[in-house]
Structure 1
Amino acid sequence: MHEITILQLIKGLDIGGKNGGDSRFCVDLSKQLAKIGYKIILCNFFVMNTSSEKGFLKDLEKSNIKTIQLVNWSEQNKYFHYLQSIRKLEGSLKNREINIIQSHFQLGAIASIYLKTKNRNIKIIRTVHNIKEYEEGTIGLLKRSLFAERIYPAKLDAEVGVSQAIVEQLRAHPGASQHPEKIHLIHNAIDLPEKLPDIKPPHAEGQPFIIGSVGRLAEQKGYRFLLAAMPEVLKAIPGCELHLAGEGEEKAKLMAIAAELGISSQVKFRGYLGNISEFLTGLDLFISSSLWEGLPTAILEAIMAGVPVLATDIAGNRELIQHGKTGWLVPPADAQALARGIIYAYQHPELRHHFAEEARAILPQFSIQTVTEQYAQLYQRLLAGAV
């Protein structure tokens, strides 16, 4: 096979801080693609200079994946820096033969369209990781109308949704009716070990019941509702602890809410953690309180760790958890529903164990090996002109 070079575009490598599961998935996908013979260049648009970013850069270097670091992140000048980053990327690609550009964030998709004007032979793909791509209000509506509904369907060679809900959203765009063959479903995925950890045993008598979540401390994750549920939870489960792994822009706000509710001693903000598996196996119940998602890999990682899951009943979560069969689903943005669900799960340890076992049946279809093969097939079809 002629060596195929794929340029992966991500917003950043500060995974667990400014960046989330989309960047983590891209790292895992890139490593797996490199294993099966693809040449991968991973472009990090916005440099954060955090310990998380440095750790992932070392990991990529060990996998012989070349990285391109573009510009330092600045919230105040982000659009100027974005334009600067495109110019820098264009310069970095001189004398490099790129076959495919795959973007994992909005501005990356725009950059790939621009880069294709310089080389019409390049195939360009965007992977959509979130059901809610744009901000609320007039500006968000204009962006969606211009880019998602018109420019992307016309200019991109393929659009990939990581969940069925996202694929349906892509197909509903006006421009997609002209190019339905460009839209594909390829799930997010995780790297499964050869042997899965044991299912989480019931928590020991006299030990605190520990619930927790993994993700950026951002509005999307709905943590303010989870915190609001804790006073009711603590009435029924004295000593219960909530552990949150991750960093993000809402950290100070969430800590203030915990203090205002008088629950600071029972809420542990764990920050960025390099070993998420160890964190997850320490939980008695994993909580996803998200308000919207694409296909959350954090839930998959909890299932892999053998931890039962209680999640909000939203698109994406519903593709991973069947209520009353493999976990619990509760309405989003509802602190009382979260509290009732947590208390019920605590009171039914046999169901927690049963659901944790049953949930694992879905894992093979979400393995990084399976999903990488699906992407490889898409790349080959694009290069052969079959899409």
Structure 2
Amino acid sequence: MIKIAYIINQLRKTGPVLVLKDIIQNLDRTKFEPMIIRLRKDDSTNSIASIFKQMGVEIIGLNYSFMQLELATRRVSYCVDTILKNRNIDIVHTHGYHPVLVASMLKSGIPTVETAHNISAEDYIYSKGRFLGTYMNIRYLRRLERIKHVAAISQTVQSFYSGKLNKPMIHVIYNGIDTTVFKPVDLKTKRMLRERSKIPLDCKVFLVIGVLNKRKDPKTIIRAYKRLFDCADISAPFLLFLGTGSLMKECRMAASDYPRIQFRGFTQNVGEYLQMADWCICASHSEGFGLNFMESLMSGVPVISSDIATFRELLEFYPVLKRYSFPVGDSVKLAQKINNAIIIDIDMMDICEDVKARFSAVVMAKEYMSLYEEMKI
């Protein structure tokens, strides 16, 4: 039995945590025994810790603050080392900035692997600002050198870290999608879901999923919509935003006169919203993988996407969608793509089958299990 300790900051519903959930959910539990070390206290409003507990996973919550993890990293690492030794852990799998800092200072010699979920030079600056983000990027890269294995979630991410780290090989393990949640539905189910959400069946629905922040760029999407439709246009499509974030107030103000632009906030049933949607819009300035992009395709929903390296990589698998790519931050070009999407239907059946075969959570977990076995040798 190989015992794995997953170190993560929090268990709130974010992309990395959902990936961790899908890895553990699909582990061969006759060969692998998982546990989680959570460095910070969870926000009770969007924690999914209960899902891990239902899977029988032990969670050790250390409840450190951001500043403690920054300024007392070595002390935190000593505490984590003690936990690992007491539980005879064989492998440490980290997810993110502080977990890497902590794991890089471990003295136990346990093999380590980090899943690189983003392009740190971009993501940290978008999320933390230029000064703190630049500092975090430098520190993350220095400490990542001490982690034995790195698993990049796309070739784009692999390319970035290959140019920054002195490592002979960086693995590519694409994120996987839970096919039990994200899947196409028939018209009857779609009608039922729309009735429940008070959305008529005879209109188009464009869905935007994710945090409302600069990196995801919801304001460009709103500007594009307003270029196409009058606020009183009852034939206009619905534009639904799922998520909250620092730009929520600005976005609500920008869309205040448009009743068909709606903000549904944080929701646990993203899969159901995708099943009622016609299109998804991803306007990101930076992505490591594009989880919402692939969740949409898995659900049979085509995507209008910004022209960034990660999305270009994914579109090589599905070239029919390349025509719906637009320059980052360009609301005029995005409006054109939305207008084209309104009058065009795309047969997604073959794409759904390919996504399932290539990007399912089961496929991802198998690749991680192979890596764990390789690390244990």
TM-score range, shorter-chain basis? 0.7 to 0.9
The normalised TM-score by structure 2 is 0.85
Aligned residue for 1:337, secondary structure, equals helix
User: Corresponding residue for 1:215?
Assistant: 210
User: Corresponding residue for 1:12?
Assistant: 10
Alpha-carbon offset, residue 255 of structure 1: 1.7
Code of the aligned partner of 1:69 = G
The one of 314, 332, 337 equivalent to 2:333 is 337
Instruction: Note closer, same or farther for the CA distance 1:36–1:320 as it changes in structure 2 (3 Å cut).
Output: farther
Code of the aligned partner of 1:248 = G
Alpha-carbon offset, residue 285 of structure 1: 0.8
Alpha-carbon offset, residue 127 of structure 1: 0.8
Code of the aligned partner of 1:168 = S
The one of 245, 248, 260 equivalent to 1:248 is 245
User: In the alignment, does 2:130 pair up with 1:134?
Assistant: no
Structure 1's consecutive aligned runs of 4 or more residues displaced over 6 angstroms after TM superposition are: 81-84, 199-206
User: In the alignment, does 2:156 pair up with 1:162?
Assistant: no
Code of the aligned partner of 2:159 = E
The normalised TM-score by structure 1 is 0.83
| Aligned-residue identity in percent | 22
**Worse-matched range after superposition: 208-217 or 82-91:** 82-91
The one of 168, 173, 179 equivalent to 1:180 is 168
User: In the alignment, does 2:180 pair up with 1:193?
Assistant: yes
User: In the alignment, does 2:57 pair up with 1:57?
Assistant: no
User: In the alignment, does 2:92 pair up with 1:101?
Assistant: yes
**Residues 9-30 of structure 1: CA deviation (Å, up to 9, x unaligned):** 2222221xxxx21111011112
5 Å-filtered alignment, 1:1-387, equals 3-15=1-13, 20-33=14-27, 35=29, 37-53=31-47, 56-71=48-63, 79=70, 86=77, 89-90=80-81, 92-93=83-84, 95-115=86-106, 117=107, 119-120=108-109, 122-131=110-119, 132-135=122-125, 137=130, 140-148=133-141, 150-153=142-145, 155-173=146-164, 175-176=165-166, 179-181=167-169, 183-193=170-180, 196-198=183-185, 207-235=202-230, 238-259=235-256, 262-263=257-258, 265-322=259-316, 325-326=320-321, 328-349=324-345, 352=346, 354-355=347-348, 357-358=350-351, 360-384=353-377
**Residues 35-61 of structure 1: CA deviation (Å, up to 9, x unaligned):** 4531111222222332331xx222111
**Residues 158-195 of structure 1: CA deviation (Å, up to 9, x unaligned):** 1111000111111111x42xx313x1111111122399
The alignment's C-alpha RMSD in Å is 3.0
Distance in 2 (alpha carbons) for counterparts of 1:300 and 1:108: 26
Instruction: Note closer, same or farther for the CA distance 1:276–1:343 as it changes in structure 2 (3 Å cut).
Output: same
* Unpaired runs of at least 5, structure 2: none
Aligned partners of 2:182 and 2:298 also within 8 Å: no
Distance in 2 (alpha carbons) for counterparts of 1:81 and 1:238: 57
Distance in 2 (alpha carbons) for counterparts of 1:49 and 1:164: 32
Aligned partners of 1:209 and 1:237 also within 8 Å: no
Distance in 2 (alpha carbons) for counterparts of 1:23 and 1:195: 17
Aligned residue for 1:114, secondary structure, equals coil
Aligned residue for 2:241, secondary structure, equals strand
Aligned length: 360
Instruction: Note closer, same or farther for the CA distance 1:270–1:77 as it changes in structure 2 (3 Å cut).
Output: farther
